[in-house]
Structure 1
Amino acid sequence: MAQLPILQFEEKIIETVEKNQVVVIIGETGSGKSTQLSQMLHRRGYTKSGIIGVTQPRRVAAVSVARRVAEELGVQLGEEVGYAIRFEDRTSERTRIKYLTDGVLLRESLSDPELGQYSVIILDEAHERSLNTDILMGLMKRLIRMRSSNLKVLITSATLDGDKVSKFFFDCPLLTVPGKLYPVEILYSNERPKSYLESCLKTAIDIHTKEPEGDVLIFMTGQDDIEKLVSKLEEKVYNLEEGSCMDAVVLPLHGSLPPELQVRVFSRPPPNCRRFIAATNIAETSLTVDGVVYVIDSGYVKQRQYNPSTGMYSLDVVQISKVQANQRAGRAGRTRPGKCYRLYTSMDYQEDLLDVTVPEIQRSSLAGSVLYLKSLDLPDIDILRFDFLDPPTSESLEDALKQLYLIDAIDENGSITKIGQTMAELPLEPSLSRTLIEANEYGCISHALTVAAMLSAETTLLPGRRKNADKKRKHRPVDPPDGSGWGDHIQLLQIFELWDQENYDVNWCKDRDLQVRGMLFVKDVRKQLCQIMQKIAKGSLDVWTSRNQKESRAEYWNLRKALCVGYANQLAERMIHHNGYRTLSFKPQVVQVHPSSVMKPDEDGKFADYVVYHELITTSRPFMRNVCAVQVEWVMPILNKVKNLNVNKLSGGSADLTSEPMEGNVKDSLKKEDGGTTPTLDGHDNKIQAARERFLARKGKK
């Protein structure tokens, strides 16, 4: 292995860390920062006084980097070097270097606010600006002022605005480590392609037939597009004239891929064989694939964006930023001079692409994050004025506070309740945490645990919702249960109960075209949630499903009551003489039940007057996904709470927001928005809006 650039700066890095509590390190792509920084500090004795914790925004990265470091140190993964991600912990008492997701570190700080087990905390890949990393930066700033021991904090990134972060951390030192080992030639398209998938396919074949050996990394937007490209590319390569070019293997890479398939991209190809790797933006920085010489950049990324004024998520394919474009290009220069084929024009790059990616904190629902901050129960934290590197809009924070109030996580004065404290202990989104607590009161905790686990699956589980069903199947898959007419949550429960009765036979899943890996994941998650709830209830719960038990409509009834409480902020009322529902958010709108739902009308042909939903999302139109019918009498207490909201009291601070608006006159800017992404609060607002308008105008012409 070639010596990584960061190793040349080891003395300078260690000297700076020794003299300062916080250091920002800008390590360019290929510098080796993710794998080598922890080892440097380990060599210099920092693991004698505590663990070196390295956070990653993505689960896949935490696992793969930990595996790589364990190999380099010649130790078994899970011993001296380990990792911790949601629902999986491979560490031990011997662990000295620990890779973990930023969300796991946040959860650890609930039980240990000072993070006393750590001597060093490295926030890696900070340029991705994940929601949890941004919150961690605010907490680290507070912690280093309060913790008596000598905690070291390193903020590392490939393309972060280092000066901005340095100022945030009291003008701490900023080090820059070069990383690009070889030059990369940038090749632009003459015009935007009508189909970036077809353009990726053509460019990949051109490289394969005309360019020397070297692997090809293709950046796509998501699992569906990756699977389409892999299928078409395999077919094209197979049909090439024998002997006209070298062999090729086509591999997908995305977050939903099983670990055993993810590992394939890190294995060397056979002799005289080129690898094509079709990946999401997970390969921009989180994972490094050796052997890549050619990069094909579609110019797009799939991004979830939350609009607090509507309570709605949209899953949009959007243009990448210049930072992301440069990160993608850098992947081609790791082992020798490379080429990056950008499927957009140089003018697109200069004029349409934002300079930096909009931080996740400015395009996400903040309910879970605000619950976490409230659960710390620190008197000096006012949620609406928490010290963020880039503050979210006041509307986003107010929306989160309202959500938490409606599900009893905070009281009318903004103080966290006992229910809220319990919710924070569960590694689930607030609605599911609240449902479990209520289900325990109603005696249907076993059912609720199953539903929570099923909704926590990393991939789509059910047949009919996946496009890659086995085409060679001779027999039609067995139809899944129908949810007893009450909706999707009950259907998910019934599916798991039937599988439970079959002793978790994977063939039973295959016969019904259920996602086997996802179902096994659900089984494991349910077991862990059971253990957590047993601990919370001090071992008094009967949480295991009894096999061969007949359907209990009484327990299903109670489960729906619990769901109504848990999803109090995700409630919809059926419109009279209309096929849709009016969501009872703070700006009501008409939405429809997603076509995949199993919710059916009753004996009189009427749909439920009220439903709760797991997610509200915009695709071709606004849809509610995972819907469950609830009773009118359960809804009335929720409607009464909506009438008595006072967001100033909920924030936990004494300031009057109406007299002292947040930076950037956020409320005025939101009024100008026509929906979609939440505006940012810095000087990029006008440029973002202009670029967005150009992109939408061009999209409308197609």
Structure 2
Amino acid sequence: MANLPIVQFEKKIEETVDQNPVVVIIGETGSGKSTQLSQMLHRKGYTNSGIVAVTQPRRVAAVSVSRRVAQELGVRLGEEVGYAIRFEDRTSERTRIKYLTDGVLLRESLSNPELNQYSVIILDEAHERSLNTDILLGLMKRLVKRRASNLKVLITSATLDGEKVSKFFSDCPLLTVPGKLFPVEIFYSKERPTSYLESSLKTAMDIHVREPEGDILIFMTGQDDIEKLVSKLEDKVRSLEEGSCMDAIILPLHGSLPPEMQVRVFSPPPPNCRRFIVATNIAETSLTVDGVVYVIDSGYVKQRQYNPATGMYSLDVVQISKVQANQRAGRAGRTRPGKCYRLYPSRVYNDDFLDVTVPEIQRSSLAGSVLYLKSLDLPDIDILKFDFLDPPSTESLEDALKQLYLIDAIDENGSITSIGRTMAELPLEPSLSRTLIEANEYGCLSQALTVAAMLSAETNLLPGRSKNNEKKRKYPPLELPDGSGFGDHIQLLQIYECWDENDYDIGWCKDYDLQVRGMMFVKEVRKQLSQIMQKIAKGASFLCAKAR
């Protein structure tokens, strides 16, 4: 069993869970809450009467944490311990501990609102305040009353305002588990750098040349930044005089990374070798990377923000909050005293950073969430008065209702329509679900399925022209279809159809500089969406054509 701080609290946690339907556990980073709580409840016998579900806001965390727990219990992943994420389910009838994204649990509750298969539901990483977790908090409050005798709910978090959640659940007990943190020395920049990427590069190389062993974790904003910095670090390390300092391995870490690449981050480096791990905010709390002694914090994060006035999303690089900055710094003190280099002045931290991150529910389109809640058909749920921990603005809710009305998902009284019910069965944004239904009417469902699947990929599938790729190629990549002047959607459709004509050949993807894993994912998603549409077609009067 892992030697983690939470293990010392096992008896106290068991007693509290036994005596209360809801418990809030504040487990500091490194306490072991994500991997150990499910195992404690398994040992206590809660898996005899149902499955222990553990939700994660991120797909990568659901997969990697379940893999770790299966390893610790000495079982095969997908049997006693499994995971379920959108478009991928690795569970079986034997599964007793199940890690799943919060979105998957919401979808499961559509077909089974009582979630009877679960004896315990753990909402992990609740401080990330994902939109789905916030909705689940409201639904759990209702469900606990209905299943008081046979359901336990645990809300766990690293930094969440525990008092607030405890109050939300009628003053339920609140346990705090300390993390295993060593002191971290914090260094601030005198000024904000003109380029946080160049500043990260310089700081990382200074640490590598001057500081003793220990891995370096660098927080960047997204995949593009990560790939650029990885490439620059590789060039710099290569140009160092041989024998002047220890060897180095440079590893990216982000949500679009193939599983075999993610696993590399959890393997220790060879002797006399330092790892540079260049990550998004996924490494703030969702995943713990042992061996990190130095953290470089750019002070920024990429955030999706929705503007109800324009009906458009934007992906903006914004300043992190103080809570995020402290999480990042804490990553340096996991195995021994560490150092955190903040690429911003202390006055920026003190005066400009928000105390906490704005909950996703207050910066997202709520159309999908409102459609979901409407499709539950629960008479005691009023959308405009739904019990949220932090309610969204009335403007956002009204915008969602308006959007749903315009695409025939609800009628003028706000009641869900038959089309709306069909849309709710598809694991897509309402606008894409409606597109598939309409495409079926116009006889172009096959093409619409392809576009919906291509847009569901976790990564951009339009071919990149990164210098890094071009340096490695003997020949320039071949020219792909360009959309014939009709835009990205048609280009994505043409690319997939070309791949189809080439019998889904992996070599073809490589020749055209396309991500193989991304394209394989799209093929699987398209197949699943096609199956759902065929199932719907059998039961719905307005869907008669079959998906190819």
Q: TM-score normalised to the size of structure 1?
A: 0.76
Query: In 1, distance between residues paired with 2:372 and 2:385?
Result: 15
**Match of 1:456, as an amino acid?**
S
Aligned to 1:383: 383
Q: CA separation of 1:225/1:488 partners in 2, compared to 1, >3 Å: closer, same or farther?
A: closer
Equivalent position SS for 1:285: coil
Q: Is the 1:290–1:334 Cα contact (8 Å) retained in structure 2? A: yes
The structural deviation recorded for 1:463 is: 2.5
**Match of 1:171, as an amino acid?**
D
Query: In 2, distance between residues paired with 1:424 and 1:536?
Result: 11
Query: In 1, distance between residues paired with 2:310 and 2:489?
Result: 23
Q: CA separation of 1:54/1:542 partners in 2, compared to 1, >3 Å: closer, same or farther?
A: same
RMSD: 1.6
Query: In 2, distance between residues paired with 1:464 and 1:341?
Result: 31
Counting only pairs closer than 5 Å after superposition, residues 64-463 of structure 1 correspond to structure 2 as 64-147=64-147, 149-463=149-463
Q: Is the 2:443–2:545 Cα contact (8 Å) retained in structure 1? A: no
Equivalent position SS for 2:70: helix
Q: Is the 1:301–1:318 Cα contact (8 Å) retained in structure 2? A: yes
Q: CA separation of 1:235/1:481 partners in 2, compared to 1, >3 Å: closer, same or farther?
A: closer
**Match of 1:124, as an amino acid?**
D
Q: CA separation of 1:483/1:294 partners in 2, compared to 1, >3 Å: closer, same or farther?
A: closer
Counting only pairs closer than 5 Å after superposition, residues 642-653 of structure 1 correspond to structure 2 as none
Q: Is the 1:26–1:176 Cα contact (8 Å) retained in structure 2? A: yes
**Match of 1:78, as an amino acid?**
G
Equivalent position SS for 1:23: strand
Q: Is the 1:6–1:32 Cα contact (8 Å) retained in structure 2? A: yes
Counting only pairs closer than 5 Å after superposition, residues 497-646 of structure 1 correspond to structure 2 as 497-538=497-538, 542-544=546-548
**Match of 1:543, as an amino acid?**
A
The structural deviation recorded for 1:160 is: 0.2
The structural deviation recorded for 1:327 is: 0.6
Q: Is the 1:180–1:330 Cα contact (8 Å) retained in structure 2? A: no
The structural deviation recorded for 1:448 is: 1.6
Equivalent position SS for 2:303: strand
Q: After the TM superposition, which of the residue ranges 193-202 and 491-500 deviates more from structure 2?
A: 491-500
**Residue-pair matches, total:** 544
Equivalent position SS for 1:252: strand
Query: In 2, distance between residues paired with 1:81 and 1:148?
Result: 26
Q: Is the 1:81–1:95 Cα contact (8 Å) retained in structure 2? A: yes
The structural deviation recorded for 1:190 is: 2.2
Q: CA separation of 1:97/1:472 partners in 2, compared to 1, >3 Å: closer, same or farther?
A: closer
Query: In 1, distance between residues paired with 2:490 and 2:356?
Result: 43
**Match of 2:88, as an amino acid?**
E
Q: CA separation of 1:12/1:298 partners in 2, compared to 1, >3 Å: closer, same or farther?
A: same
Q: Is the 2:70–2:81 Cα contact (8 Å) retained in structure 1? A: yes
Equivalent position SS for 1:305: strand
Query: In 1, distance between residues paired with 2:417 and 2:100?
Result: 29
Aligned to 2:60: 60
Q: Percent identity, aligned pairs only?
A: 85
The structural deviation recorded for 1:470 is: 2.7
Aligned to 1:697: none
Q: Is the 1:127–1:158 Cα contact (8 Å) retained in structure 2? A: yes
Q: Is the 2:231–2:468 Cα contact (8 Å) retained in structure 1? A: no
Q: Is the 1:121–1:153 Cα contact (8 Å) retained in structure 2? A: yes
Query: In 2, distance between residues paired with 1:487 and 1:192?
Result: 38
Counting only pairs closer than 5 Å after superposition, residues 665-676 of structure 1 correspond to structure 2 as none
The structural deviation recorded for 1:468 is: 5.0
Is residue 480 of structure 1 aligned with residue 480 of structure 2?
yes
Equivalent position SS for 1:403: helix
Q: Rg larger in 1 or in 2?
A: 1
Query: In 1, distance between residues paired with 2:58 and 2:344?
Result: 28
Q: CA separation of 1:484/1:191 partners in 2, compared to 1, >3 Å: closer, same or farther?
A: closer
Aligned to 1:604: none
**Match of 1:450, as an amino acid?**
T
**Match of 1:46, as an amino acid?**
Y
Q: TM-score normalised to the size of structure 2?
A: 0.96
Deviation above 6 Å: which 4+ runs of structure 1? none
**Match of 1:67, as an amino acid?**
R
**Match of 1:264, as an amino acid?**
R
Q: Is the 2:181–2:330 Cα contact (8 Å) retained in structure 1? A: no
**Match of 2:104, as an amino acid?**
V
Query: In 2, distance between residues paired with 1:465 and 1:415?
Result: 48
Q: CA separation of 1:469/1:209 partners in 2, compared to 1, >3 Å: closer, same or farther?
A: closer
What is the CA deviation profile of residues 594-620 of structure 1, one whole-angstrom value per residue up to 9, with x for unaligned ones?
xxxxxxxxxxxxxxxxxxxxxxxxxxx
The structural deviation recorded for 1:440 is: 2.1
Q: Is the 1:462–1:515 Cα contact (8 Å) retained in structure 2? A: no
**Match of 1:309, as an amino acid?**
A
Equivalent position SS for 1:341: strand
Q: Is the 1:51–1:95 Cα contact (8 Å) retained in structure 2? A: yes
Query: In 2, distance between residues paired with 1:206 and 1:166?
Result: 45
Equivalent position SS for 1:471: helix
What is the CA deviation profile of residues 552-586 of structure 1, one whole-angstrom value per residue up to 9, with x for unaligned ones?
xxxxxxxxxxxxxxxxxxxxxxxxxxxxxxxxxxx
Equivalent position SS for 2:197: helix
Query: In 2, distance between residues paired with 1:263 and 1:461?
Result: 23
**Match of 2:298, as an amino acid?**
S
What is the CA deviation profile of residues 238-258 of structure 1, one whole-angstrom value per residue up to 9, with x for unaligned ones?
111221211011111011111
Query: In 1, distance between residues paired with 2:146 and 2:436?
Result: 35
**Match of 1:275, as an amino acid?**
R
Query: In 2, distance between residues paired with 1:310 and 1:497?
Result: 33
The structural deviation recorded for 1:312 is: 2.0
The structural deviation recorded for 1:360 is: 0.4
**Match of 1:528, as an amino acid?**
Q
The structural deviation recorded for 1:371 is: 0.7
Aligned to 1:686: none
Q: Is the 1:502–1:508 Cα contact (8 Å) retained in structure 2? A: yes
Equivalent position SS for 2:306: strand
Aligned to 2:40: 40
Query: In 2, distance between residues paired with 1:498 and 1:205?
Result: 44
Aligned to 1:627: none
Q: CA separation of 1:519/1:414 partners in 2, compared to 1, >3 Å: closer, same or farther?
A: same
Q: Is the 1:322–1:349 Cα contact (8 Å) retained in structure 2? A: yes
**Match of 1:470, as an amino acid?**
E
The structural deviation recorded for 1:482 is: 4.2
The structural deviation recorded for 1:434 is: 0.8
The structural deviation recorded for 1:541 is: 5.2
Q: After the TM superposition, which of the residue ranges 348-357 and 534-543 deviates more from structure 2?
A: 534-543
Aligned to 2:50: 50
Equivalent position SS for 1:457: coil
Equivalent position SS for 2:344: coil
**Match of 1:235, as an amino acid?**
D
Q: CA separation of 1:440/1:148 partners in 2, compared to 1, >3 Å: closer, same or farther?
A: farther
Aligned to 1:491: 491
**Match of 2:194, as an amino acid?**
K
Query: In 2, distance between residues paired with 1:149 and 1:420?
Result: 34
Q: Is the 1:248–1:275 Cα contact (8 Å) retained in structure 2? A: yes
Q: Is the 1:462–1:513 Cα contact (8 Å) retained in structure 2? A: no
